[in-house]
Chain A
Amino acid sequence: MEAFLVSMIVAATPLLFAATGELVAERSGVLNLGVEGMMLLGAVAAFAVALSTGSSTLGIVAGAAAGAGAAALFALVALGFTANQAATGLALAIFGTGVSGLIGQGYVGNAIDPLAPLLAAESLPDHPALRIILGRDAMVYLALALAIAVWFYLTRTRSGLKLRAIGDDADSAHSVGLKVLPSRFAAVLFGGACAGLAGAYLSLAYTPLWGENMTAGRGWIALALVVFAGWGPIRVIFGAYLFAAASLSQFYGNALGLSIPSQFLAMTPYLATILALVVISAAGARYNAPAMLGLPFRPTR
């Protein structure tokens, strides 16, 4: 049970990073399907920098920067050229998979020390549950803090309110003088940086090495998670831990006394997301779904 809880926290962290970032982009009205590609680029950049400098902090920064750089490419085509957002996002997912494979080729087989726990083991309290919660690395807490900060930003600040207005009705937002494209650009870059952090967590902490396609579909799960959570940052936190538990059930299923084939357990996040999507869509505006999600915006005057 203890091992399961530790694995769940570790598995939830990259999902939480990526989904929090994607949530901000989507609340601004931009659907970026390229999360998987941005995560892979973040993972390879973080690993390469951490290996060559010996500093995992620099690695984390490099991961975020690589994710943001990839997102800038998406923003240029999808926002600058007002191309179809879904197609542009897929281009980024495909491109990121390819480029990360090329860059990472020289790093396959290298290993680094995983991220150390934030607090030293001897300074932790004796209570086993507290040791599980407090004995993790800094990025686990950073992901949680980021999601809470995003919640605060979106619901408690003027700037966050403006971003949501842009996501719901860009034309009206534009007509009252809000800067639609710069705001969306910033939101997409933030989403990319978060996806890069998610990738960095995978290659620096989760499995401290680089392997081709090492995200293994987590970018797509993060996309599902945003929808599942009804575009709410706090619900994303719970969803990330829930999805992580579902993804781990294939390893712990027998130990936990489950007799369902692991594949069906692994399906549950996707099926739950479809269900959530149907409920949210049928209920309409009572949820946070951005009204202009995926629709291009071009200022007319």
Chain B
Amino acid sequence: MLERRVSPSPVLAILSPVIAVALTIIAGFALFAALGKDPVKAMEIYFLSPFADAYNRSELLVKAIPLALIGSGLAICFRAGVFNIGAPGQYTLGAIFAGGVALHAPEGAAMIWLLPLTLAAGFVGGMLWGWIPAFLRVVSGANVILVSLMLTYVAALLLDWLVRGPWTDPQGRGFPKSALFPDGALMPVLLPGTRLHWGLALAVVAALALAWMLSRTRRGFGIRAMGLAPKAAAFAGFSEAKTITYVMLVSGGLAGLAGAVEVTSTIQQLQPDIAAGYGFAAIIVAFLGRLNPIGALIAALALAVTYIGGENAQILLKLPKNAAFVFQGMLLFFLLACDTLIHYRLRLRRVAGG
């Protein structure tokens, strides 16, 4: 039986992610052994190869950038008790808006403003897609989880239509891709010889700004209050409608920015598959990072390991592309179960009289 603790365990609150990661590795070992794949070799490639050399380490950071941007925004959202699971759609809208600016910029002329404008458009696109569920929730009480999820598929279909229809590359021989973005719209590389780009700075700045907002401003206090005790927060004068709208705009905007950063850095054009599951993985990032924007930065690196490990396993072990999702799913399962133990303790028997 689970018995409520008098106060949450601070030790477990910090240890829970560590325990969850350890359990994931152990369970992954057992699963690969059960499926007749060499577990030692598999674990080595999934968890150690991403750190093996400078190139892998730089790729780790490249993958962590979108995860951190989305995850730190979601941390704020979840703190307020608003469950935005539409980050994949907000990411896609961000990429579409960014692509719209980059692809339609007038040719020629060195344009120092093109990249900032492209990224800002991405932020706005994500905000728009985050605002819709917030608005519908405020006016009708429609469930944010379900509306934001539905919008994810609408966004994916919109992108699909754009890259096959109006924005398809005339020289693309029928492939569903846009033209390559002009150089002025591309994210500059941070470390020559790698793909690591300045999006890293954006992710760090965003996480720091959100951490400051959450802990030092009245608005941040309102967000935390609404997550812990919605009625008390409303009584204290924090508007539920305003808080929901604010966190959805911020998390949607950051997911949109992540989409814009991704299409202006590693992909450099629009195509149907730009998301790579970042939107859902970022939910794990937010939880693993203890719903704290700074924590999300670190957690993004952990999730990036599953991506790089997965790519390496695909090449070296011929494992299917989706195999990396096994670890992401298990990690979230274990994390959620461990988090319960922060507030509850396990008792083998019911307490007398209880």
Contact = CB atoms under 8 A, between A and B. Distances in A.
Query: Is B truly associated with A?
Result: yes
Interface of A: 31, 33, 37, 73, 76-78, 81-84, 86-88, 90-105, 212-213, 217, 220, 223-224, 227, 261, 263-264, 266-267, 270-271, 273-274, 277-279, 281-282, 284, 293-294, 298, 301
Given A96-B329, A281-B143, A282-B140, A91 B153 contact: no
Contacts of A294: 143, 145
A267 B140 contact: no
10 tightest A-B CB contacts, nearest first? A95-B329, A98-B325, A98-B326, A101-B322, A83-B336, A91-B332, A263-B161, A94-B329, A101-B320, A81-B340
A99 B326 contact: yes
- Sort chain B's interface into a size bin: 35 or more
Interface of B: 2, 31, 35, 37, 83, 85, 136, 139-143, 145-147, 149-151, 153-154, 157-158, 160-161, 164-165, 277, 280-281, 283-284, 287, 319-330, 332-333, 336-337, 339-340, 344, 354
Chain A interface helix/strand/loop/mixed: helix
A263 B168 CA distance: 15
Contacts of A103: 35
B135 to A, nearest CB: 10
Given A31-B145, A220-B153, A274-B147, A88 B319 contact: no
A212 B147 contact: no
Contacts of A298: 2
B136 A102 contact: no
Contacts of B150: 224, 270-271, 273-274, 277
A210 to B, nearest CB: 11
Contact of A267 (B139, B153, B280, B322): B153
A6 B83 CA distance: 39
Contacts of B327: 98
Contact of B325 (A81, A95, A271, A278): A95
Contact of A102 (B2, B151, B326, B339): B326
A267 B157 contact: yes
Given A88-B336, A263-B160, A264-B161, A95 B141 contact: no
Given A223-B146, A227-B146, A266-B157, 13 more contacts: A33-B85, A77-B333, A77-B337, A86-B145, A87-B283, A91-B329, A94-B281, A95-B326, A99-B31, A270-B151, A271-B154, A277-B150, A281-B141
A94 B328 contact: yes
6 contacts: A33-B85, A87-B287, A99-B329, A213-B322, A274-B151, A282-B140
Contacts of A84: 83, 336
B330 A95 contact: yes
Given A264-B161, A266-B157, A267-B157, A94 B136 contact: no
A261 B153 CA distance: 16
B83 A86 contact: yes
A102 B323 contact: yes
A263 B157 contact: yes
Nearest to A277: B142
B329 A92 contact: yes
A212 B323 CA distance: 10
Given A220-B153, A281-B141, A301-B354, A81 B337 contact: yes
A277 to B, nearest CB: 5
Contacts of A87: 83, 283, 287, 332, 336
A177 B321 CA distance: 48
A255 B333 CA distance: 46
A281 B140 contact: yes
Given A101-B321, A102-B319, A86 B85 contact: yes
A199 to B, nearest CB: 15
Among A87, A105, A227, A301, residue most surrounded by chain B Cβ atoms (within 10 Å)? A87
Given A81-B337, A101-B320, A298-B2, A281 B161 contact: no
